[in-house]
Amino acid sequence: MMRVLIVARYKNNGFAPFVTEQVEALEKTGVECRFYPVKKGYLKQWSALRRTIREKDPDIIHAHYGLCGAFANLQRRVPVVTTYHGSDINDPQVRWISRMAIRFSSANVFVSHKLMDIVAPIKNGVVIPCGIKLEDYSTIEKSEARKLMELDQDGKYILFAGSFDNPVKNAPLAMAAVSQLLGVQLLELKGYTRTQVAMLMQAVDALLMTSISEGSPQVIKEALACGCPIVSIDVGDVKDRLDGVAGCYLVEKDAEKIALALKDAMTFGKRTDGKAVIIRDGLTNDAIALRLKKIYQSVSKRG
C-alpha cells in the first residue's frame, strides 16, 4: 500500500475541507494518508517534519500550497508533489517561494490553467482542480430550503461568494451591481456550516462571484452541484466550469453588466444542470483521487 504524508496548513483548528475530503477519496483508492500540520513558523517545525518522515516512512509527500511545498522540499529523501491553489501563485509576494517549490517538486499540480500559465513553462506540471464530495449536495425544493434557512419565501436573494471583509472577493463591485436591482438582498457567505452553505445555495436565486483573483473556486463547483444559477466575472477557472451551462453567466467586471446578468439568472427560474457538468468534467473527489494516485505512482521511487 502506498503511503502519503499530507503537508498542509493547519488553521482555525483544522485543515481546509477540500484537503481533508480529497484525502478521504484517496484512502478509498487504497492510498494510506497521514497528515503533518503546518502552523506559523515554518523553519521552527523543520525538525518535527524530519522526525515525522523518519517515523512514517512515506513513499510520497503531498504538499498543499506553495509555501508548504517549499518547506517539504527542504528534505530530498522523499519525492514531493505540490498542489498550488491560487493565492500562492496569484500573489507576487508569495510567488517566488512557490517557484522554489516548483523547481524542486517531483510533480506540480495546478488547480487551473491560468495558474500554471503564470509560472510557465513547467515540464512536470499538470492541471487538476480540487473536486467536491458530490453526495453532500442532494437537492431539495427552494421553498423548503428557504424555510430551513429562515428566508422570506417571496424574497429575492443573491449569495455573495465569500465574506464582505475579504478584499480579494471584491464585495464593493458586488454591492454596486445588486444596488441596481430593486428589492434584492445580497447575502454574505460567512459563518455557515458546510451543510448550511449547501442549503443556502438551494434557497437563493443566484450566486455572485466578483473576485479579483481565484484559483479554482470550490464555491462555484458547490453551486453547480446544487443547481444554483451563477453569475461570475472571468476569474480562475470559472469560464471552464460555466461553459455551456444554462442559467450560468460569465460577465465583464462592470456593475451594470453584472446587474443585467443577475436579472437573467433570477428569472431563469429552475435548477441548472450543474451536477451533470461536475460528473462530466471529472470533478468529483473520487475522480480526482484516481488522477492523483497515478501521479504518486509515477514519481514514487518505490514504484
Same domain for 200 and 293: no
Same domain for 142 and 85: no
Same domain for 106 and 63: yes
Same domain for 152 and 270: yes
Q: What is the CATH number of the domain that holds 32?
A: 3.40.50.2000
- For 36-88, the pLDDT digits (tens) are 999 888 888 999 999 999 999 999 999 999 999 999 999 999 999 999 999 99
Residue 70: give the domain boundaries. 3-131+284-299
**Per-residue H/E/C for the chain:** CCEEEEEEECECCECCHHHHHHHHHHHHCCCEEEEEEECCCCHHHHHHHHHHHHHHCCCEEEEECHHHHHHHCCCCCCCEEEEECCHHHHCHHHHHHHHHHHHHCCEEEECCHHHHHHCCCCCCEEECCCCECHHHCCCCCHHHHHHHCCCCCCCEEEEECCCCCCHHHCHHHHHHHHCCCCCEEEECCCCCCHHHHHHHHCCCCEEEECCCCCCCCHHHHHHHHHCCCEEEECCCCHHHHHCCCCCEEEECCCHHHHHHHHHHHHHHCCCCCHHHHHHHCCCEHHHHHHHHHHHHHHHCCCC
Query: Which of the residue ranges 33-37, 107-111, 132-136 would you say has the lowest mean pLDDT?
Result: 132-136
pLDDT at 136 over 90: no
Domain count within the chain: 2
pLDDT at 206 over 80: yes
Same domain for 224 and 98: no
- For 244-279, the pLDDT digits (tens) are 999 999 999 999 999 999 999 999 989 999 999 999
Mean pLDDT (whole number) for 166-174: 97
Same domain for 251 and 149: yes
pTM for the model = 0.93
pLDDT at 303 over 60: no
